Structure 1
């Protein structure tokens, strides 16, 4: 269980890049780095065909992952990616820096399913939780 995907929004790019870098450094395999989609981020040269290609890459990455990390608040695709992972029965680490996921008016029913591990605190604490719960087997 060492392949992962990070779902979030472009406004959380620094957090996504930090978490993914830390996990890769520990030996986990990142299935797709959507933060490199400069055209989508800039928004002015993006075509519908580009969205189709990006969407296919993201869907495949979630399907190939053993677990996903969701960093809230998410973008438009974040909850679709969460849904794909839930449908596949994958482990999900749901990170909320402000604990909004614990308030009825700002939460989702899906955040409270058994396969969703709610995470709070710092990004380092999130990474530590993942490493503790899903350790890499370094045996050859």
Structure 2
């Protein structure tokens, strides 16, 4: 069973839950559901959540990053990239291909850019991970 983690902004938690639930229904295993957390209110909270999220990224076979993401999402992206994990970078629009708003790291071979609907993202991840088995 392939393990995954979904990184994004707290503002996208409904979409994170949808993607996670649909992949779980397809037989994948979520390493950590950060959407169950409340917003951190202390440095100790941040440290605990950071440890859990770091562990989840390390345990995942692949990660999904839903844009727009925050600082944490991009750090999780970097952790996954440093480990050579497959990263699915999702955007509902074409911002990842606009020179003014993109990042060099978005265009590395470990990253698969998914643009469009969430259904398209789930289809891409499911098909890609099935082919990698």
Measured in 2, the distance between the counterparts of 1:135 and 1:95 equals 19
TM-score, normalised on structure 2? 0.95
Tell me how far 1:136 sits from its aligned partner. 8.8
C-alpha deviations, 1:37-77, integer Å up to 9, x for none?
A: 1143xxxxx11111100000000000000000000000120
1:43 aligns with none
Unaligned runs of 5+ in 2: none
* Aligned alpha-carbon RMSD (Å): 1.4
Which residue pairs with 1:87 in the alignment?
A: 82
| Higher radius of gyration, 1 or 2 | 1
Closer/same/farther in 2, CA of residues 126 and 73 from structure 1, 3 Å limit: same
Once the 2 structures are TM-superposed, how far is the Cα of residue 34 of structure 1 from its aligned partner? Answer: 0.5
2:130 and 2:15 map into 1 onto residues whose CA distance is 21
Note if contact 1:68-1:93 (Cα within 8 Å) is conserved in structure 2. Answer: yes
Provide, for residues 102-124 of structure 1, a one-character-per-residue CA deviation record: whole Å limited to 9, x for no partner. Answer: 00100000000000000011101
Alignment of 1:12-91 (within 5 A): 12-40=12-40, 46-91=41-86
Q: Secondary structure of the equivalent of 1:89?
A: coil
Task: Output the TM-score relative to the length of structure 1.
Answer: 0.91
Whether the aligned pair in 2 keeps the contact of 1:27 and 1:136 (CA below 8 Å) is no
SS at match of 1:77: helix
State the partner residue of 2:112.
Answer: 117
Q: Distance in 1 between matches of 2:26 and 2:70?
A: 27
Looking at structure 2, the residues matched to 15 and 35 of structure 1 have their Cα atoms a distance apart, in angstroms, of 10
Task: Tell me, yes or no, if the aligned pair for 1:28 and 1:136 is still in contact at 8 Å.
Answer: no
How many aligned positions are there? 132
**Structure 1 residue ranges, 4+ long, deviating more than 6 angstroms after superposition:** none
Structure 1 residue aligned with 2:129: 134
Q: Which structure carries more relative contact order (alpha carbon 8 Å, separation 6+)?
A: 1
